């Protein structure tokens, strides 16, 4: 069974005011002294962010338990410094983010100007094991049309600088400001994939291979495909659902490749439209169906994803969990819907943040 790992980026906030706090270095120092999660915490681009990486897991119940444990440990370390963590993909309150020290991040600040200064966005990346670069690139070529559905399921960023953006995932729109971000064409072989990345680095526009911010890519550090389209999810259960569906997509794509089934060759232009549609309304309206690239009710498209990966999920024992998770999400809404409901009920974005911090640790 393929292993799965999850990277989550959490927002450090004041537990009373809800304002982001630039305390990542101090929180990381505390974690280094007393970390029961096994060294999973890392720094990120901004001092208001804290990242953790789970260990590879085969069982989704174990992955769920680790995500919950790491979120609570992050909150515990932050609490010793008078702040807490919130799984929010953008800050609902206005913020002027500060860049973490380091040559790499300073190069980015110089190269990208205001675009780099406006990237306080927080994602969830899913790593799924593959056997080789050949299998990995075959998977990348075949999961392309389905990634927008994962993005819709994870949508958790309706607010930006104190305003409702009218997007469910505004994080994904901000992320597109990086010159290397977004969907990719069909590569066809590992050689073409690596040549494309090398050409991008040689252009001088990006610093290195790690800055090829494709929606899905071969990981530099692990023998995995890294799927990068999701917002950080408000609830740990949604993150596990995204990881479950991601593993199903990878396994289904690998089986299709081994069976000689060619990838669907949608253009990058159409994939960008599908990503925009997913960002605009999550699962609350319509999505582009990955097979036809035509608009259908979001529930229909989510069910199509479940059907597409159904055999793989059944074989891994995850089909019932995934079906129930999708039903809950379609009924209760994404993190974006919950944030808007909290604002309507509580009356302030400060209350939205503080309540979401409680959701994060649930």
pLDDT in tens, 289-319: 999 999 999 999 999 999 999 999 999 999 9
CA angle centred on 143, ends 138 and 146, rounded to 5°: 170
Residue 162 has pLDDT above 70, yes or no: yes
| Residues 153 and 283: beta-carbon distance below 8 Å | yes
> 212-242 pLDDT, tens per residue?
999 999 999 999 999 999 999 999 999 999 9
Specify the CATH number for the domain of residue 52.
3.30.590.20
Task: State residue 263's pLDDT score.
Answer: 98
Domain for residue 361, yes or no?
no
Query: Using CA atoms, how far apart are residues 319 and 305, in angstroms rounded to an integer?
Result: 12
Domain for residue 355, yes or no?
no
Give the structural domain span for 166: 4-347
Residue 183 has pLDDT above 80, yes or no: yes
For the chain, state the CA radius of gyration: 19
| Residue 225: Cβ within 10 Å count | 28
Domain for residue 360, yes or no?
no
Domain for residue 358, yes or no?
no
Q: How confident is the model at residue 33 (pLDDT cuts 50, 70, 90)?
A: confident
Domain for residue 112, yes or no?
yes
Task: State residue 45's pLDDT score.
Answer: 83
Q: CA of 187: how far to CAs of 146, 192, 206, 227, in Å? A: 17, 6, 20, 16
Burial 112-131 (b: 16+ CB within 10 A, else e): beeebeebbbbbbbbbbbbe
Mean pLDDT, rounded, for 41-47: 88
Q: How confident is the model at residue 35 (pLDDT cuts 50, 70, 90)?
A: low
Helix runs in the chain, H state only: 24-33, 60-79, 103-112, 114-117, 133-143, 147-154, 170-175, 190-202, 236-258, 268-281, 298-308, 310-316, 319-332, 335-346, 349-360
Domain for residue 338, yes or no?
yes
Residue 37 has pLDDT above 70, yes or no: no
Mean pLDDT, rounded, for 125-145: 98
- Residue 127's DSSP bridge partners are 5, 226
> 247-266 pLDDT, tens per residue?
999 999 999 999 999 999 99
SS3 224: strand
Residue 101 has pLDDT above 90, yes or no: no
Domain for residue 357, yes or no?
no
Number of structural domains the chain divides into? 1
Task: State residue 331's pLDDT score.
Answer: 97
Q: How confident is the model at residue 44 (pLDDT cuts 50, 70, 90)?
A: confident
Query: Using CA atoms, how far apart are residues 174 and 234, in angstroms rounded to an integer?
Result: 19
Task: State residue 109's pLDDT score.
Answer: 87
């Amino acid at each position: 069974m393929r292993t799965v790992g999850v990277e989550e980026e959490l927002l450090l906030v004041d537990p009373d005011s809800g304002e982001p706090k630039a305390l990542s270095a101090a929180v990381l120092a505390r974690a280094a002294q007393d970390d029961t999660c096994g060294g999973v915490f890392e720094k990120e681009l901004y001092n208001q962010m804290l990242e953790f990486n789970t260990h590879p897991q085969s069982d989704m119940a174990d992955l769920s338990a680790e995500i919950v444990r790491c979120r609570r440990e992050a909150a515990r370390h932050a609490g010793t410094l008078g702040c807490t963590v919130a799984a929010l993909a953008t800050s609902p309150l206005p913020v002027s983010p500060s860049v973490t020290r380091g040559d790499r991040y300073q190069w980015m600040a110089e190269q990208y100007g205001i675009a780099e200064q406006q990237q306080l966005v927080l994602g969830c990346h899913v790593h799924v094991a593959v056997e080789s670069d050949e299998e990995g690139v075959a998977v990348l070529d075949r999961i392309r049309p389905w990634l927008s559905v994962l993005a819709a399921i994870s949508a958790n960023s309706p607010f930006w600088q104190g305003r409702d953006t009218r997007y469910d995932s505004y994080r994904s729109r901000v992320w597109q400001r990086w010159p290397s971000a977004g969907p990719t064409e069909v590569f066809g072989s590992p050689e073409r994939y690596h040549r494309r990345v090398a050409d991008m680095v040689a252009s001088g526009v990006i610093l290195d291979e790690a800055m090829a911010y494709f929606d899905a890519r071969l990981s530099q550090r692990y023998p995995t495909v890294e799927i990068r389209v999701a917002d950080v999810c408000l609830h740990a259960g949604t993150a596990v659902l995204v990881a479950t569906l991601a593993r199903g997509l990878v396994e289904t794509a690998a089986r299709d490749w081994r069976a000689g089934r060619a990838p669907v060759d949608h253009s990058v232009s159409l994939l960008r439209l599908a990503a925009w549609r997913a960002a605009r309304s999550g699962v609350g309206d319509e999505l582009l169906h990955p097979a036809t690239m035509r608009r259908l009710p979001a529930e229909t498209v989510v069910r199509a994803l479940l059907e597409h990966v159904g055999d793989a999920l059944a074989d891994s024992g995850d089909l019932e969990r995934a079906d129930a998770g999708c039903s809950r999400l379609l009924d209760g809404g994404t993190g974006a819907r919950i944030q808007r409901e909290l604002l309507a009920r509580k009356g302030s974005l400060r209350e939205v943040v503080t309540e979401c911090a409680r959701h994060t640790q649930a």
